[in-house]
Amino acid sequence: MNPLFHFRPLVLTALTVVLLSACSSSVRAPAPVEDRSPMGRTSTSANNPVTSTSVDASKPMPGSENAGKPGYHTVQRGETLTRIGLDNGQGWRDLARWNQLSNPDVIEVGQVLRVSPPGAAVETPGVVVRPIAQTNASASSVSPPKPEPAPSANQPSGNDEGLGFIWPANGALIAGFDEAKNKGLDIAGKAGDAIVASADGQVVYAGAGLRGYGNLIILKHNNTFLTAYAHNQALLVKEDQKVRKGQKIAEMGKSDADRVKLHFEVRRQGKPVDPAKLLPAR
């Protein structure tokens, strides 16, 4: 018998051991996942909400010295710059400028933002300013105030600061204002129906980044009032554009809604108010 016949299995076995050793030496343990977010903070873009409250307690957040002061807002989980602006009656671009954000698309949980214009007088909740008592001489020279005429049936009953709001769409009203459940009016219509500006103003937001509103337009009319137009199928204006009362700004749709409709909000200093009290009767 050929002696190589007995030697060949030994050679194959030795080669197998060598190959297995080489393979095992080339396989490394998986590298650990490293969190490279700065100081463990979680950031958010103007349209993407904050999803974590993880912060480094050893380092104060930007603006923390203003926490709790009138005219400032502490960023909470789930908020966006657009949402903060809407809830405080401001455009997100103004917030970015007032707070000198190096990246206007990024905010952080716990960060304190200025939400009123620099130098503007801000009312402090619970503080009542009382007029100074007049002397008899000055009081006698002041005429009593004249009563304001009551609004007619075709005029709105609320104080709109002379803006003269008009209805933004011609459809039937399908849902009224409810501060807890519906922060505006829902107006029915057909896809493509015209949506018009309720008053003169400037576009401070046009996009689809605010959850629950679909394609949304926000107009700023003055330092008091904003209006919002939601669920559109098409937006016809751009941010920073000035618009006139009655100008077509969008087409009615059902984006992020269960049916074709316009959801219309009026915000007074960021707080939702009943638009029906500011619109003419129809």
82 residue type, one letter: T
Q: Tell me the three state secondary structure of residue 23.
A: helix
Collapse the DSSP code of 3 into the 3-class scheme (helix H, G, I; strand E, B; otherwise coil) and give the result: helix
Sign of CA dihedral 239, 245, 251, 253: positive
For 150-164, the pLDDT digits (tens) are 444 345 556 899 999
- Higher-scoring residue by pLDDT: 124, 46: 46
Query: Between these two residues, 196 and 34, which has the higher pLDDT value?
Result: 196
Per-residue pLDDT of 229-245, as tens digits, reads: 999 999 999 999 999 99
Tell me how far apart the alpha carbons of residues 88 and 97 are, in angstroms, rounded to a whole number: 15
Lowest mean per-residue pLDDT among 34-48, 203-217, 261-275 = 34-48
Q: What is the mean pLDDT of residues 59-81?
A: 91
* DSSP designation for 182: B
The larger pLDDT score, comparing residue 180 to residue 48, is at 180
Distance between start and end Cα atoms, the chain: 113
Domains of the chain: 38-114 (3.10.350.10), 173-277 (2.70.70.10)
How would residue 6 be classed by pLDDT, with cut points 50, 70 and 90?
low
In angstroms, the CA 73 to CA 4 distance is: 87
Its pTM surpasses 0.95: no
- What is the C-alpha separation between 226 and 281, in angstroms, rounded? 21
Let me know the angle formed at the C-alpha of 110 by 118 and 182, rounded to the nearest 5 degrees: 80
* DSSP per residue, 168-179: S--S-EEE--BT
Distances from the Cα of 236 to the Cαs of 67, 144, 168, 188, 242, in angstroms? Answer: 38, 50, 14, 20, 12
* Contact by Cβ (8 Å): 221, 200: yes
